Amino acid sequence: MSAQFDQLATTILAGGAASEADALAVLRAPDADLVGLVAAAGRLRREHFGNTVKVNYLVNLKSGLCPENCNYCSQALGSDAPILKYSWLSKDETLQQAGAGLRGGATRVCMVSSGRGPSNRDIEKVAEMTEALKDEYPDVEVCACLGLLKDGQAERLKEAGVDAYNHNINTAESHHDTIVQTHTYDDRVETIGRAKSAGLSPCSGLIAGLGETDEQLVEALFALKALDSDSIPVNFLMPFDGTPFENTWELSPTRCLKILAMARFVCPDKEIRIAGGREMHLRSLQALALHVANSIFLGDYLTSEGQEAKADIEMIRDNGFVILGAEDALDPAAEATEHDPAIRRRGAGTEVAANA
């Protein structure tokens, strides 16, 4: 079986494309073939992205209080998840938060606000924030994620220096209406089109683990391919208490890795980003997933905490990767002393309980 995936990678590298049947075979690969699958997908990853990892940092400009009913979302109408709720951060707070991410190793800042879509006043706020951020950090890439866009809003963001716009399709069109009823799949696709027409780099991805079938995951990936999304965040459902998906656990680490590998085979030259749920669902396979995906979020997510940003950077470095745009930022010797052997002071020969 592994040879089948290696052959598929060879075909794609020669200019071919994965079919829907190929994508399904990747999703359904036996766990015994996992390493071969990662090696094959890794050939495509290295062809297009070498040993670089793009590091993105989320700033939640406005949290919770959303009138939409996306069932998976802790910020949605009707969600009782005990998340932070606040209205717009000030420009100074935004700069401070973004600066922390940039100093921590990120090269792209994703400015996100909850809600159905921005008012023109909101767009002006984000435009001002972007201009201020770019004054201070001229090399920063800015992605905005503000919901459904109206006429002229994408153009205004572009004019202010925003580089990309994120709006996820989240799931297959055939599954969309079961996860949200206050807007449609077509609404989402329209916004991605508006961003693209204005010259913003389209970023759109999905959430796995929402009760979709394998075929629907394949459908969603091929839809993203057709939309020509430059970056594809792959989220794994975090089932927040107080949301309709609480206690929904459909994913395993190996399943998540196969989903990322499928994304790589279907969209070999696109930025595949391991997004929300990385730590919770990939767990000890996070590092292996970097050999398939080429992008992560640093540190925390919108309403939940990620692992320490330092652990993210270490994982990148330990696996032989470098941060895109900050290739020299990592000094392997700098933190070596933090890994000195800890002398055992518990278990055998002591009065202290063993570490087991």
Residues within the interface to ligand SF4 (CB under 6 A): 66, 68, 70, 73, 75-76, 114, 116, 147
> Which of residues 12 and 146 has its CB atom nearest to ligand SF4 in the complex?
146
> What is the nearest approach in angstroms of ligand SF4 to the Cβ of residue 156?
20
Q: Which residues are annotated as part of the binding site for [2Fe-2S] cluster?
A: 110, 143, 203, 273
**Identity of residue 22:** D
Contact 174, 151 (CB under 8 A): no
Minimum CB–partner distance for residue 70 and ligand SF4 (Å): 3
Taking the complex as a whole, the smallest distance from the CB of residue 225 to ligand SF4 amounts, in Å, to 23
Rounded (10°) angle between helices 253-266 and 2-13: 30
18 or 76: whose CB is closer to ligand SF4?
A: 76
Q: First-to-last CA distance in the chain?
A: 38
Task: Tell me how far, at minimum, the Cβ of 303 lies from ligand SF4, in Å.
Answer: 9
Q: How many Å apart are CA 212 and CA 92, to the nearest integer?
A: 41
Q: Could you tell me the smallest distance in angstroms from the CB atom of residue 96 to ligand SF4?
A: 23
Tokens encoding 37: 């699958």
99 Cα distance to chain centroid: 20
| Contact between residue 146 and residue 189 where contact means Cβ atoms under 8 Å apart | no
The whole-angstrom separation of Cα 251 and Cα 237 is 8
Binding-site residue ranges: 66, 70, 73, 110, 143, 203, 273
Task: Note whether 344 and 351 are within 8 A (CB).
Answer: no
Q: Where are the beta strands (DSSP E) in 129-270?
A: 141-145, 164-166, 201-203, 206-208, 231-236
Q: Which of 275, 235, 238, 206 minimizes the C-alpha distance to 83?
A: 238
CB-wise, 86 or 137, nearer to ligand SF4? 86
By beta-carbon proximity to ligand SF4, the closer residue of 101 and 147 is 147
Which lies closer to ligand SF4 via its Cβ, residue 94 or residue 171? 171
Q: Which residues, including other chains, have CB under 8 Å from residue 3's CB and lie 6 or more apart?
A: 36
Residue 286 has, within 13 A of its CA and on its CB side, a CA count of: 23
Cβ pair 197, 234 in contact under 8 A: no
Residues whose CB falls within 8 Å of the CB of residue 102, separated by 6 or more in sequence, listed in order: 57, 109, 137, 140
**Numbered residues of the known binding site for [4Fe-4S] cluster:** 66, 70, 73
Query: Which of 5/72 has CB closer to ligand SF4?
Result: 72
**Nearest distance in Å: CB 335, ligand SF4:** 36
The nearer residue to ligand SF4, 206 or 309, going by C-beta atoms, is 206
**Residue 75 backbone phi and psi in degrees, to 5:** -100, 5
Instruction: Pick between residue 23 and residue 111 the one whose CB is nearest to ligand SF4.
Output: 111
The least CB distance from residue 89 to ligand SF4, in Å, is 15
Helix (H, G, I), strand (E, B) or coil at 110: strand
